[in-house]
Amino acid sequence: MRRVTLTQFLIEQQRAGRTNPDLRLLIEVVARAIKAIAVNVSKGALAGVLGEAGTDNVQGEAQKKLDVIANEILLQANEWGGHLAAMASEEVEEVHQIPFDYPKGGYLLLFDPLDGSSNIDVNISVGTIFSVLRFPEGVKEPNEGCFLQPGSEQVAAGYALYGPSTLLVLTVGNGVHGFTLDREMGSFVYTHPFMTVPVDTQEFAINASNARFWEPPVQRYVTELQEGKTGPRGKDFNMRWVASMVADVHRILTRGGIFMYPMDEKCRDKGGKLRLMYEANPMAMIIEQAGGAATTGRQRILDVQPEKLHQRVPVILGSTSEVERVTRYHLEG
Ligand code: AFP
């Protein structure tokens, strides 16, 4: 069987007019950074990378050493190539400017360097999520305003899953494609062409410890799932919750299901739990490109007009019929 690497895949996408040299370079550089993060994640205690860094990020959450390392790897890898105008990271409050000695390019890169990092110390899968936007024309100095584009404007989105194998899942607006890292060769191999969210599902993912804080539509929906064969759905459902969004979303891409971090009374004052620009938007683009749906419960995620770089939103995504049902419950209520 012909082994297609990420590089070959991207060149073929470019020949077909779906990417250009700058976007190709951007994705290749992100993939290279992901390989470096994978090395650190897999070494764990041997490299002394577990545990707290002793600092808080912009969200006031304790940073893990690997949060800081992954962030540095992504920033440094992407500064010099000339393809970016600026970057934004979950771990950095302000826009990260490209240093003066490097040329600037036409794209903006946003990322959550290590999603699910509370799972690092217990050796459970974590991930990296990224989103690519165009740098608006006519703007001289990149600022926060340049980033405040709805998710529908993304030109590419992807994630890396550091699990038993390291996977890179990517969309440039032409379906969702998965690559597995061949550790010996050091290259990503095209292993999952045109991934689609299976339509039929019997699995849901939600942090059920928040049940008493949920809004009535989510209470209603989850209760119906739990009632299984004896309830209105007439079939049993199973529940999974990894608490690494990347791992939960990847499972849904592979075998279907619905993922919810809905609005609840605990996170209402923040607007939700997950971040719009570098968690919800890229995952929503991937899920839609794979034939699924993604809403806040009240609105398509990709239509949300961002107001702040580190804005949070409720997230409901996965198999279309399930997402539509729970969204309908919100709109009816
Ligand atoms: P951390 O990166 O702080 O571990 O947060 C992970 C996350 O943003 C997302 O990946 C999970 O789905 C969600 O939070 C888990 O939240 P709970 O800890 O409330 O279950």
Q: What is the pLDDT of residue 1?
A: 65
- Residue 158 to residue 246: CA distance in whole angstroms: 10
Tell me how far the alpha carbon of residue 67 lies from the centroid of ligand 1, in angstroms.
13
Q: Which of 274, 281, 311 to mutate to test the pocket of ligand 1 (most atoms within 8 A of CB)?
A: 274
Tell me how far the alpha carbon of residue 315 lies from the centroid of ligand 1, in angstroms.
12
- Convert the pLDDT of each residue in 111-158 to its tens digit: 999 999 889 889 999 999 999 999 999 888 899 999 999 999 999 999
Residue with tokens 């990517």: 170
Are 188 and 305 spatial neighbours (Cβ–Cβ below 8 Å)?
A: no
pLDDT surpasses 90 at 331? yes
- Residue 81 to residue 196: CA distance in whole angstroms: 33
Mean pLDDT across 2-25: 94
For 78-96, give one letter per residue: b (16+ CB within 10 A) or e: bbebebbbbbbbbbbeebb
- Residue 259 to residue 252: CA distance in whole angstroms: 8
- Convert the pLDDT of each residue in 196-239 to its tens digit: 999 888 999 999 999 999 999 999 999 999 999 999 999 999 99
| Atom 12 (ligand 1) nearest CA | 245
Q: What is the pLDDT of residue 113?
A: 97
Mean pLDDT value across the chain: 94
Non-local (6+) Cβ contacts of 174 within 8 A are 13, 18, 289
Non-local (6+) Cβ contacts of 283 within 8 A are 129, 157, 159, 245, 249, 294, 315, 317
Query: Which two structure tokens, joined as six digits, stand for 131?
Result: 């989103």
- Residue 242 to residue 239: CA distance in whole angstroms: 10
Q: Write the DSSP string, 100-139.
A: TTS---SEEEEEEEEETGGGGGGT--EEEEEEEEEPPTT-
Phi, psi of 200, rounded to the nearest 5 degrees: -85, 130
pLDDT band of residue 56 (cuts 50, 70, 90) is confident
Non-local (6+) Cβ contacts of 254 within 8 A are 195
Non-local (6+) Cβ contacts of 216 within 8 A are 333
Q: Which of 244, 249, 315 to mutate to test the pocket of ligand 1 (most atoms within 8 A of CB)?
A: 244
- Residue 169 to residue 6: CA distance in whole angstroms: 11
Which atom of ligand 1 has the smallest separation from the CA of 275? 8
| Atom 6 (ligand 1) nearest CA | 116
Residue with tokens 């993304």: 154
At 224, is the secondary structure helix, strand, or coil?
helix
Are 180 and 166 spatial neighbours (Cβ–Cβ below 8 Å)?
A: yes
| pTM summary value | 0.96
- Convert the pLDDT of each residue in 90-106 to its tens digit: 999 999 999 999 999 99
- Residue 279 to residue 115: CA distance in whole angstroms: 9
At 275, is the secondary structure helix, strand, or coil?
strand
Q: Which of 57, 68, 111, 207 to mutate to test the pocket of ligand 1 (most atoms within 8 A of CB)?
A: 207
- 169 Rama class: left (phi>0) / alpha (psi -120 to 50) / beta: beta
DSSP code at position 269: G
- Convert the pLDDT of each residue in 285-294 to its tens digit: 999 999 999 9
For 200-238, give one letter per residue: b (16+ CB within 10 A) or e: ebebbbbeeebeebbbebbebbbebbbeeeeeebeeebe
